[in-house]
Amino acid sequence: MAAERAARTAAAAADPKRRPKEWRGPLSGIRVTDFCWMGVGACATRILADFGAEVIRIEDRNRLDLPRRLPIYMNGPIRAYGDELLDPDPDAAGMYNNYNRNKLGITLNMRDPRGRKLAERLISLSSVVTENFAPGVMERWGLTYDRICELTPEPVMARMSGYGHSGPHSHFRSYGPVVQAVSGLSHVSGLPGREPSGWGLSYMDNMAAFYNGIGLLMAIYHRNNTGKGSEVDVSAIEAGIGLLGPIMLDVSMNGKKTRSPDFPLGNRIEYPDAAPHGVYPTQGEDRWIAIAIFNEAEWQALVAELGDPGWASDPRFATQPARFANQDALDELLGAATAERERYDLMHRLQHRSVAAAVVQNAEDINENDEQVAQSGVFFELDHPVIGPAKFEGMPIRFSGMEQHNWRSAPLLGEDNHQVFTEILGVSEDEYHQLVDEGVI
């Protein structure tokens, strides 16, 4: 198996279609030594790679990046999200492929002094360094910001962690679900009168990554204007707190509690008095539609589409305030009515009557049924030596005169070793093969 993987990596490295012909985009000319892993780091540097930066992703053969071990695997068995494989094919993971498109990938043993020397040589030829390890890892390698300033002039060094790199909790490790709990996001999620539900994914990994990307771009812009580098320190906890602004204002100014028998609101809305306002079942298993009614005209349109059911004339639903006060009863009756209807047909009919309604779409719907998503081109396809053609989600931003540069899917493990070490760092062929044989590369 190891020989087979080595052969396919060599074949991919030799494929001219897997080599960039040029770096295109507003960030072309910027080389990034990227120590980031998982989503919170990889998504941030992916933004740079998508728009022209030469991002060189450093990995450890003996400690595979978690997305190389987690689902989704092409043609693999269905597994729970956190169900790691004991002996995974590191090149078959869809999550890693998505996080690391448009990047170069090398392997380096940072536990070996020769590996650290090679990393320093790469940093000396870069202007940006990124990492999102547990606090203390870069320090143990001697790669402090002061040392990086000695290696390359006016660098941008972006450090991304759960708690930031100062303060009494700076040494704590964290993952997305922990960040969501500590920042207060989990406490305000869920249904009214129930325990906090948490979130079904590491939401803050991605959200913090976007803050990390913003920090990197601001530091690069600052250097372009002033010639001065920056050390960027992003705390995912603080990024999560930043998403709670209106709720924190309500608590501090109005004495509102963030958990009570009627809060969080679930699918409902606190202001204005919208009712019905929620998600309702439709025909089929686990098929739903969202409907929001804000005034009498919309209510009458909804009732007409449902065929003027008798319950709609119930005095409890005679006015918008009355409907708002009796939402439980209204939701039960409306759900029974929508359960008999096909979701997309009902959505279009309600929209035609100027009622706010939308199908609750799953992944298949977004990929196959959504005309708006299809025309936007947010999904694009790249080929991969192991996975084959695969879809990626692009940046949800459009520019005039500028576009995302999608030149390659994610690197195979160590795919760009020879190119980076011999062509960029100037390692001789003999030394290169010796370093490979001795496990440094």
Name the one residue in this structure whose structure tokens are 């009732």.
303
- Both tokens of residue 379? 């999904």
Half-sphere exposure of 279 (CA within 13 A, CB side): 10
Q: What is the DSSP letter of 414?
A: T
Q: Is the dihedral of CA 13, 16, 22, 24 positive or negative?
A: negative
Q: Which of 118, 107, 106 is nearest to 151 (CA)?
A: 118
Q: What is the DSSP letter of 234?
A: E
Coil vs helix vs strand at 132: coil
Q: What is the DSSP letter of 126?
A: -
DSSP 161-179: ESS-SSSTTTT----HHHH
Name the one residue in this structure whose structure tokens are 């909790």.
169
Name the one residue in this structure whose structure tokens are 């003996």.
62
Q: Of the listed 91, 205, 331, 416, which one is catalytic?
A: 205
Which residue pairs, CB below 8 angstroms and at least 24 apart, start in 244-251?
Answer: 244/183, 244/184, 244/185, 244/188, 247/188
Catalytic, 437? Answer no
Contact 191, 264 (CB under 8 A): yes
**Peptide bond between residue 247 and the one before it cis (omega within 30 degrees of 0):** no
Question: What phi and psi values does residue 16 have, to the nearest 5 degrees?
Answer: -60, -25
CA distances from 285 to 206, 208, 345 (A): 30, 34, 16
C-alpha span between 196 and 215 (Å, rounded): 31
Half-sphere exposure of 371 (CA within 13 A, CB side): 2
C-alpha span between 420 and 422 (Å, rounded): 6
C-alpha span between 367 and 105 (Å, rounded): 29
Contact 396, 378 (CB under 8 A): yes
Beta carbons within 10 angstroms of residue 28's beta carbon? 13
Q: What is the DSSP letter of 313?
A: G
Q: Which residue type sits at 13?
A: A
Name the one residue in this structure whose structure tokens are 């990024």.
239
Question: Residues with catalytic annotation?
Answer: 205
